[in-house]
Amino acid sequence: MSVKSWLLTVFRELFLYHYKSLEFRAEIFALIMSSGCKSVKECDFETLKEVAAEIYANDKHRQEVFINIVKEYAAMILRNAPASYDEAVKDINRKTRANKSFAAKISPSHINRFLKDNMDENRQLLQQRIKEFLEDQSKEALLSDSKYENL
């Protein structure tokens, strides 16, 4: 990681444009990724790098900051599991209700890339429930926006 990316990660509130949006997206990916692994080392960061490159195609530093924040959040979730899954879900729910545009950050095609079949049944169930929750958040926000357009 470059020095600039490190500084942007540490001081993201000061130097990063739309850092709340980036953090929200990072929280989503940390939640789905951590549900499929037992430690941060087991998480699929290669797929995350590919997704980051797709989302932030023109900004290498933003990609690196995004990956670092996902790692940070995934470590927090796994360190405090299972209570931290509940806290992350509540936080995502609160943020999508407060800011409907965040729901557009939830991309089922990106989330599906982190779903795994080769893990125990409890982890698969957890991952499936989290995926359904994220999809519901996205749909609910989009539906509430369409209600107001017709008024």
pTM: 0.82
Mean pLDDT throughout 36-50? Answer: 90
Sign of torsion, CA 128 129 131 135? Answer: positive
- Name the nearest CA neighbour of 67 among 126, 124, 118, 8: 8
- Residue 119 to residue 42: CA distance in whole angstroms: 12
| SS3 at position 92 | helix
The 10s digit of each residue's pLDDT in 56-114 is: 998 888 888 899 889 989 999 999 877 788 999 999 999 888 888 888 888 889 999 99
Q: 148 pLDDT exceeds 50?
A: no
Strands (DSSP E) contained in the chain are: none
- Name the nearest CA neighbour of 26 among 9, 1, 3, 41: 9
- Residue 36 to residue 39: CA distance in whole angstroms: 9
Alpha-carbon distances of 37 from 13, 60, 85, 129, rounded to whole Å: 29, 26, 13, 15
Alpha-carbon distances of 130 from 18, 70, 92, rounded to whole Å: 25, 16, 11
Return the minimum-mean-pLDDT range out of 23-27, 43-47, 140-144. Answer: 140-144
